[in-house]
Structure 1
Amino acid sequence: MKRLAIFDFDGTLFDSICDVVKCYNKTLELYGFPTLTRREYIPCLGGNIDEITSLVLGENSSAENVEKVKKTYLDFYNSSPKDLTVPFPNALEVLRELRDKNVLLAINSNRLTYSLNEFVERFFPDIDFVAVEGHNPPHPSKPHPCGVNNIVEKAGVSLDEAVYIGDSITDIRTAENAGVDCVLVSWGYGNENDLKNDYPTEVISDMFELVGMFD
Structure 2
Amino acid sequence: MQKPLAKAILFDMDGTLVNTLEDIRSAMGCALSLIGFPPPSAETTKRVVGRGLKNALRGAIQELGVTLDEEEHQRLYNAMMDSYRAHPSDQSTLYAGIHSLLCKLQADGFALGILSNKEDELTRRIVSDVLGDFSFVWVQGLLDSVPRKPDATAIRQFLIRQGFSADDIVYIGDSEVDWQTACNVPCSPILVSWGFRPKEELQSLPGSMVVDTVHELEDAIYGIQREGSEKQS
Q: Which residue of 2 aligns with 1:39?
A: 43
After TM superposition, give the deviation of residue 75 of structure 1 in Å.
0.5
Residue number among 145, 158, 161 corresponding to 1:154 in the alignment:
161
Aligned residue pair count: 214
Of the structure 1 ranges 111-120 and 30-39, higher mean CA displacement relative to structure 2 is found in 30-39
Matched, 1:184 2:191: yes
Contact 1:169 1:194 in 2 (8 A): yes
Contact 1:175 1:182 in 2 (8 A): yes
Distance 1:199 1:62 in 2: 40
Task: Using the aligned pairs only, state the percent identity.
Answer: 26
TM-score by length of 1: 0.92
Distance 1:87 1:101 in 2: 21
Contact 1:176 1:199 in 2 (8 A): no
Q: Which residue of 2 aligns with 1:172?
A: 179
After TM superposition, give the deviation of residue 20 of structure 1 in Å.
0.8
Alignment of 1:1-215 (within 5 A): 1-33=5-37, 35-58=39-62, 59-80=66-87, 82-191=89-198, 192-200=200-208, 202-212=209-219, 213-214=221-222, 215=225
After TM superposition, give the deviation of residue 208 of structure 1 in Å.
2.9
After TM superposition, give the deviation of residue 49 of structure 1 in Å.
2.4
The one-letter amino acid of 2:93's match is V
Residue 60 of structure 1 aligns to a residue whose secondary structure is: coil
Structure 1's unaligned 5+ residue stretches are none
After TM superposition, give the deviation of residue 35 of structure 1 in Å.
4.3
Contact 1:87 1:123 in 2 (8 A): yes
Distance 1:32 1:197, change over 3 A: same
Distance 2:132 2:82 in 1: 25
After TM superposition, give the deviation of residue 88 of structure 1 in Å.
0.5
TM-score by length of 2: 0.85
Structure 2's unaligned 5+ residue stretches are 226-233
After TM superposition, give the deviation of residue 38 of structure 1 in Å.
1.3
Contact 1:106 1:151 in 2 (8 A): no
Distance 1:23 1:116 in 2: 15
Residue 93 of structure 1 aligns to a residue whose secondary structure is: helix
Of the structure 1 ranges 72-81 and 156-165, higher mean CA displacement relative to structure 2 is found in 72-81
Of the structure 1 ranges 130-139 and 102-111, higher mean CA displacement relative to structure 2 is found in 130-139
Distance 2:165 2:26 in 1: 41
Structure 1 or 2, whichever has the larger Rg, is 2
After TM superposition, give the deviation of residue 64 of structure 1 in Å.
1.5
After TM superposition, give the deviation of residue 32 of structure 1 in Å.
2.9
CA distances 1:96-127 after superposition (whole Å, capped 9, x unpaired): 10011111100011011111211222232231
After TM superposition, give the deviation of residue 33 of structure 1 in Å.
4.7
